[in-house]
Amino acid sequence: MSENSMAIRKLGDLANPTRFLALAERVLPWFAALSALFLSVGLWLSFTTEGDYQQGETVRIMYVHVPAAWLSMMCYTVMAVSALGTLVWRHPLADVSARAAAPIGAAFTFLALVTGSLWGKPMWGTWWVWDARLTSVFVLFLMYLGLIALNRAMEDPSRSARVSAVLVLVGFVNIPIIKFSVEWWNTLHQPASVMRLDGPTIDPEFLRPLLVMAIGFTLLFFTLHIAAMRNEVWRRRVTSLRRQAARNAGRETLAP
């Protein structure tokens, strides 16, 4: 490796996480406050707007189910971009970001699956079917769990970073499959009614709480993600400091 790129990496290693910690400290209270605000307004709207003429009260499940499902895919996309950051630019924070996002993504995917099931039972008459949309989201959930397990199995983050980045990118193929599964195959799940080229086909009465909740959930995701990234930076500092302390201790005992 050339002298120059070594210098850049060294600089990045030292400067970026430190700058990130300062930035996180500054933005986290704002993100947390905004998520709380949007989620409270969203919850209030969710329970005060009218029920659907066909679905009745169960339409309210949509206000948690859809944002959770949206986040399950966005989180994976964030991880895929981070994986590119690890492999292409070797950005020191990219792996931190991917690692911190995985448990959050798994939690939101779990939430989408459970609320979907709780919505499916009264509306479709079944908790679960192995159709394209449900199965592909279940696969996404398993991928999150696999990535978490992989990250935990390898102790040295510098070694696990590239392996899990490759795996994240390979798994990204699932995201368009999830998105378009309702159009490509026959499924019980309804096709998209918000993110459509010809605009939302959903009534404004339902769209309003849905959008507010989606913004609230997205803000919550970024709050948690930034906080989890900060934790991961701290965790790595603790590890390297302990290693340094052990090295120093070793040197002292070796020296006469």
Partner 1 sequence: MMSHAAYVIASYLVAALTVAGLVLWVVGDGRARRRELKALEAAGIRRRSAQTAGGDDK
Contact positions toward partner 1, by CB under 8 A?
A: 14, 18, 56-58, 60-61, 64-65, 68, 103-104, 107-108, 110-111, 114-115, 118-119, 121-122, 220, 224, 227-228, 230-231, 234-235, 237-238, 240-242, 244-245, 248
| Nearest of 198, 181, 197 to residue 189 by alpha carbon | 181
Q: Which is nearer to partner 1, 40 or 170 (CB)?
A: 40
Give yes or no for a contact between 212 and 34, defined as CB atoms under 8 angstroms apart: no
Q: Which is nearer to partner 1, 121 or 196 (CB)?
A: 121
Q: Which is nearer to partner 1, 122 or 191 (CB)?
A: 122
Q: Which is nearer to partner 1, 59 or 168 (CB)?
A: 59
Shortest distance, position 102 Cβ to partner 1, whole Å = 12
Residue 117 has which token pair? 């099931």
Residue 175 has which token pair? 């995201």
Shortest distance, position 111 Cβ to partner 1, whole Å = 5
Look-up of token digits 């779990």 = 110
Q: Which is nearer to partner 1, 109 or 196 (CB)?
A: 109
Chain-centroid distance, C-alpha 118: 22
Shortest distance, position 98 Cβ to partner 1, whole Å = 16
Residue 14 has which token pair? 């030292």
Give yes or no for a contact between 62 and 52, defined as CB atoms under 8 angstroms apart: no
Shortest distance, position 228 Cβ to partner 1, whole Å = 5
Shortest distance, position 176 Cβ to partner 1, whole Å = 26
d(CA 40, CA 1): 52
d(CA 253, CA 124): 70
Q: Which is nearer to partner 1, 196 or 242 (CB)?
A: 242
* Residue-wise DSSP of 167-186: HHHHHTTHHHHHHHHHHHS-
Shortest distance, position 162 Cβ to partner 1, whole Å = 24
d(CA 195, CA 207): 11
Q: Which is nearer to partner 1, 112 or 132 (CB)?
A: 112
Shortest distance, position 82 Cβ to partner 1, whole Å = 18
| Nearest of 114, 110, 92 to residue 148 by alpha carbon | 110
Q: At a CB cut-off of 8 Å and minimum separation 6, what does 127 contact?
A: 117, 120, 121
